[in-house]
Amino acid sequence: AQSVTQLDSQVPVFEEAPVELRCNYSSSVSVYLFWYVQYPNQGLQLLLKYLSGSTLVESINGFEAEFNKSQTSFHLRKPSVHISDTAEYFCAVRASGAGSYQLTFGKGTKLSVIP
Amino acid sequence: ETGVTQTPRHLVMGMTNKKSLKCEQHLGHNAMYWYKQSAKKPLELMFVYNFKEQTENNSVPSRFSPECPNSSHLFLHLHTLQPEDSALYLCASSQETYGYTFGSGTRLTVV
């Protein structure tokens, strides 16, 4: 079984400042990792994912996350945030084996961007 | 549209009512899920269907009854709900190595 820990439930940050949202996971097998974003009154949207290959993955809106196997982490970063980034962010993990399709989600981190 | 459509978007129902939530996907995914999202609580997985067969029921009360008539449609039938069942109900689908695609959710209020 897998588990996910998002260490911060809320992160306030000023506009144009950098941000890091932390995610740690535990698993006895190889994993795939995901970040989802949820805007108010909406469902979750896939932001980025790590399946294999380069440990640094990027999204189209400037976020990036780095898979660190030794530290079992998949932190999400953005060098300069915008007001529109205000949302809740969920880290998720699943086993990479065939038939292992079920995701385990963290409790979420609410990012508030302050003008 | 995200590829997963949920209806209705909002639902207010009394504790004695019977209603159904609908989820539809035409992404060719073979697994579908119901999640409950309450304020100040983490996402709760309720039901998992894989190729139309229910593979998981996370100790959900019997007042919630899922139905998956085919791989594209998923329903959640509701009856005699309690006020604490008020939440955002999210449907998702997935296909093997990819992550989930979520619908926009149904905001349920039980009065």
Q: Which residues of A touch B95 (CB under 8 A)?
A: 101
> Which chain A positions have a beta carbon within 8 Å of B89's beta carbon?
none
Contact A36 B102 (CB under 8 A): yes
Q: How far is B99 from chain A (nearest CA, A)?
A: 7
Under 8 Å between Cβ of B90 and A35: no
Residue B1 has pLDDT above 70, yes or no: no
| Tokens coding A111 | 């990012």
Q: Give the pair of three-digit tokens for residue B29.
A: 């995914």
The arithmetic mean of pLDDT across residues B37-58, rounded, is: 83
Radius of gyration of chain B (CA): 13
Q: What percent of chain B has pLDDT over 70?
A: 95
> What is the rounded average pLDDT of the residues B88-103?
87
Which pLDDT score is estimated for A98? 67
pLDDT band at residue B59 using 50, 70 and 90 as cut-offs: confident
Q: How far apart (Å, rounded) are the C-alpha atoms in residues A105 and A38?
A: 13
Residue to mutate among B100, B104, B108, with most A CBs inside 10 A, is: B100
